[in-house]
């Protein structure tokens, strides 16, 4: 990835025999590669370009755009047809419990990201959000450092619904950033509370940043209970 300074520095340090094909979110790659122009992905391999809209990608978010670019470049190098590449990137089915769209109720989108059991995963989830977020988080805290989330939370989160037996660390981390932080002990109450706090156009995101074992069997159980609670609304 041309946007990753560590990768670019390593490339400078060593001699690389294979040809380098960069991909970037900026407006132009150098020579071959993939880049963004006018909300489209442009993939250019041997002066033969392919274009598709960002909106058409099955997986949204900055990290998934990078993944789609890398997959598209690889497909073109292997002489996979442009149509097959486009079909794959637009029809791909996301994995359960990973930024999984569940429903839109009262104009509010519900997203299940129960697999996000660490802070880094939550960072990518929040970075992917385009609307105001009611964030359902909490569980067994593994000594999390929430500081990397502060800017994103300040910018995108309007309320936090804590879900777990002990959310003291989570509350302390964001008490000066988010005005509304509410404690809950069951998924039904967490979902109902989030809906009450939400407004049309908002997103309710289950992205816990913590392990699930205080209230649930595992992250799958937590995600399934979230979906059940949403379906009961």
As annotated, the residues of the chain forming the CATH 3.90.190.20 domain(s) are: 100-231
For residues 93-99, average pLDDT: 86
Measured distance CA(164)–CA(208) in Å, rounded: 10
Measured distance CA(214)–CA(23) in Å, rounded: 42
Measured distance CA(83)–CA(78) in Å, rounded: 14
Measured distance CA(20)–CA(112) in Å, rounded: 37
pLDDT tens string 135-168: 999 999 989 999 999 999 999 999 999 999 999 9
Q: What is the pLDDT of residue 15?
A: 65
> Beta partners for 54?
none
Residue with tokens 């300040």: 154
Residue 159 has, within 13 A of its CA and on its CB side, a CA count of 18
As annotated, the residues of the chain forming the CATH 3.40.1190.10 domain(s) are: 5-91
Measured distance CA(165)–CA(70) in Å, rounded: 41
Q: What is the pLDDT of residue 64?
A: 86
Question: How does residue 206 score in pLDDT terms, banded at 50, 70 and 90?
Answer: very high
Q: Domain 100-231: which CATH class?
A: alpha beta
**Residue 93 or residue 186, greater confidence:** 186
For residues 78-102, average pLDDT: 91
Question: Of the ranges 52-61, 99-108, 200-209, 214-223, which one carries the lowest mean pLDDT score?
Answer: 52-61
Record the tokens describing residue 18, joined without a space.
Answer: 């294979």
CATH topology of domain 5-91: 3.40.1190
Record the tokens describing residue 68, joined without a space.
Answer: 């789609």
Question: How does residue 223 score in pLDDT terms, banded at 50, 70 and 90?
Answer: very high
Q: What is the pLDDT of residue 179?
A: 96
């Amino acid at each position: 990835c041309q946007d990753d300074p560590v990768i670019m520095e390593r490339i400078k340090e060593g001699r690389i025999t294979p040809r380098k094909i960069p991909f970037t979110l900026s407006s132009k790659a150098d020579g071959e590669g993939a880049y963004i122009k006018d909300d489209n992905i442009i993939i250019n391999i041997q002066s033969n370009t392919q274009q598709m809209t960002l909106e058409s990608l099955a997986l949204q978010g900055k990290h998934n755009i990078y993944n789609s670019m890398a997959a598209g470049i690889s497909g073109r190098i292997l002489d996979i047809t442009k149509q097959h590449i486009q079909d794959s990137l637009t029809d791909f089915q996301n994995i359960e419990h990973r930024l999984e769209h569940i429903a839109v109720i009262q104009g509010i989108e519900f997203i299940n990201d129960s697999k996000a059991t660490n802070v880094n995963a939550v960072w990518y989830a929040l970075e992917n959000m385009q609307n105001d977020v009611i964030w359902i988080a909490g569980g067994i805290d593994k000594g999390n450092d929430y500081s990397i989330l502060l800017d994103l939370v300040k910018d995108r989160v309007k309320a936090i619904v804590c879900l777990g037996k002990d959310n003291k660390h989570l509350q302390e981390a964001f008490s000066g950033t988010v005005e509304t932080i509410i404690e809950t002990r069951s998924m039904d109450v967490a979902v109902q509370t989030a809906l009450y706090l939400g407004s049309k156009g908002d997103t309710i995101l289950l992205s816990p940043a913590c392990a699930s074992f205080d209230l649930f069997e595992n992250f799958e159980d937590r995600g399934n209970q979230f979906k059940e609670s949403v379906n009961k609304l």
